C-alpha cells in the first residue's frame, strides 16, 4: 500500500531507521540476498518451527524465509512482525541467557541494549513492526535502506501522477530517484522528516515534493504542514526525467 506520506528518522550511529510509508515488498530485488534463516521474536507457535535453546520460533532456509516475508511484510495484520536473521544453527545455540534476554528486550522495547549486530548470529537486520504502521529496522549496511527509500519515493510519485489520468491516457513512468540525491538527504533524514504527497505542487511538467521537519512529533504526521516547517523540496522534471533537490534550511553537512 502506497502512503500519502513517507516519514523517516535515521540514526546513523546505530544504523537504525524509524519509518512509516516505506514499502518493502520488493526487498528481494534490493537486498539481492534473502536471509538464510530468521528468528521470530514474537510469533505464535503455529508459525515456523520451535527452537528450544532460545525459546523462539524460527524459519530455516532461503525459500521458506522468502515465502514468509512475501506473505507477511507490508501486510495489515494484527500480528506485529518482529524478526532477526541468523546464519548458523550451531552458533545460534551458543547464545547465552543474557544474549537471549537482550533479544526479548529488543522485541519489547524496540531498542537495543548493546550492539544490535550479534557476532554469533551474524545478522544483517532486525525488523520491528510497531503500532500505527511504524517500523524500526536495523541495517548492517545502510545503503540498502537508501535503496528502499528511493524505491518508495519513486512509486509514491508515480501513483500520484497517475491517479487522475483518463482511461485512454498513457501511464506516466517515473525514473528512480538516484542514489546521489538520496545521499544529499541524509543530514535531513537524521532530523526526522516527512515527504508529503498530499502537498505536492505540480507546475506544468515539474512535480515538487515538499519535505517537512517533524523530528519526533509523530502525532502530527497526518496534518497539513505550514511553510515554517519546510526544510527542503525534491523536484521531478517529467520532460527531462530528472530529479533535483533544494534545501531550505542549512543543516550540518554530511561527513563521509
Give per-residue pLDDT as tens, 124-178: 999 999 988 899 999 999 999 999 999 999 999 988 877 765 555 677 788 999 9
Region of poorest pLDDT, from 10-19, 160-169, 208-217? 160-169
Specify whether 18 is located in the same domain as 131. yes
- Beta bridge mates, 232: 211, 247
Residue 36 DSSP class? S
Specify if 256 maps to a domain: no
Q: Are strands 16-20 and 5-11 parallel, antiparallel or unpaired?
A: antiparallel
Specify whether 117 is located in the same domain as 225. no
Range of the domain at 183: 144-247
Specify whether 26 is located in the same domain as 126. yes
In sign, the C-alpha dihedral spanning 215, 220, 221, 225 is negative
Q: What is the pLDDT of residues 47-73, one digit of tens each?
A: 999 999 999 999 999 999 999 998 888
Specify whether 191 is located in the same domain as 125. no
Specify whether 160 is located in the same domain as 128. no
User: All 3 cell numbers of residue 17?
Assistant: 531507521
Q: Last residue of some domain: 83, 109, 141?
A: 141
Highest mean pLDDT among 1-15, 27-41, 97-111, 204-218: 97-111
Q: Last residue of some domain: 141, 161, 179?
A: 141
Output the CA torsion 36→127→99→96 (10° steps): -20
In sign, the C-alpha dihedral spanning 205, 156, 158, 35 is positive
Cα separation, 159 vs 174, whole angstroms: 9
Question: Across residues 9-33, what is the average pLDDT?
Answer: 87
Q: Can you give the pLDDT at residue 188? A: 95
Question: Across residues 80-97, what is the average pLDDT?
Answer: 95
Cα separation, 62 vs 241, whole angstroms: 37
> In the predicted model, what is the mean pLDDT of the chain?
88
Our count of domains for the chain comes to 2
Specify whether 123 is located in the same domain as 85. yes
- Beta bridge mates, 86: 37
Q: What is the pTM of this model?
A: 0.90
Q: Last residue of some domain: 75, 107, 141?
A: 141
Amino acid at each position: 500500500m502506497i502512503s500519502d506520506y513517507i516519514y523517516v528518522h535515521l540514526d546513523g550511529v546505530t544504523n537504525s531507521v524509524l519509518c512509516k510509508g516505506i514499502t518493502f515488498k520488493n526487498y528481494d530485488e534490493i537486498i539481492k540476498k534473502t536471509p538464510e534463516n530468521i528468528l521470530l521474536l514474537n510469533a505464535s507457535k503455529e508459525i515456523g518451527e520451535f527452537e528450544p535453546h532460545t525459546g523462539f520460533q524460527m524459519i530455516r532456509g532461503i525459500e521458506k524465509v522468502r515465502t514468509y516475508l512475501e506473505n507477511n511484510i507490508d501486510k495489515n495484520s494484527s500480528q506485529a512482525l518482529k524478526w532477526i536473521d541468523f546464519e548458523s544453527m550451531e552458533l545460534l545455540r551458543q547464545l547465552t541467557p543474557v544474549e537471549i534476554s537482550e533479544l526479548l528486550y529488543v522485541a519489547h522495547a524496540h531498542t537495543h541494549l548493546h550492539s544490535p549486530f550479534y557476532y554469533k548470529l551474524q545478522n544483517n537486520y532486525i525488523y520491528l513492526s510497531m503500532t500505527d504502521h511504524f517500523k524500526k529496522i536495523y541495517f548492517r549496511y545502510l545503503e540498502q535502506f537508501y535503496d528502499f527509500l528511493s524505491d518508495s519515493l519513486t512509486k509514491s510519485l508515480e501513483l500520484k501522477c497517475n491517479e487522475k489520468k483518463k482511461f485512454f491516457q498513457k501511464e506516466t513512468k517515473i525514473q528512480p530517484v538516484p542514489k546521489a540525491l538520496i545521499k544529499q538527504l541524509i543530514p535531513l533524514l537524521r532530523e526526522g522528516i516527512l515527504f508529503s504527497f498530499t502537498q505536492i505542487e505540480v507546475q506544468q511538467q515539474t512535480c515538487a515534493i515538499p519535505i517537512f521537519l517533524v523530528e519526533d512529533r509523530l502525532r502530527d504526521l497526518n496534518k497539513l504542514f505550514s511553510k515554517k516547517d519546510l526544510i527542503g523540496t525534491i523536484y521531478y522534471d517529467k520532460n527531462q526525467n530528472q530529479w533535483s533537490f533544494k534545501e531550505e534550511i542549512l543543516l550540518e553537512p554530511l561527513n563521509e
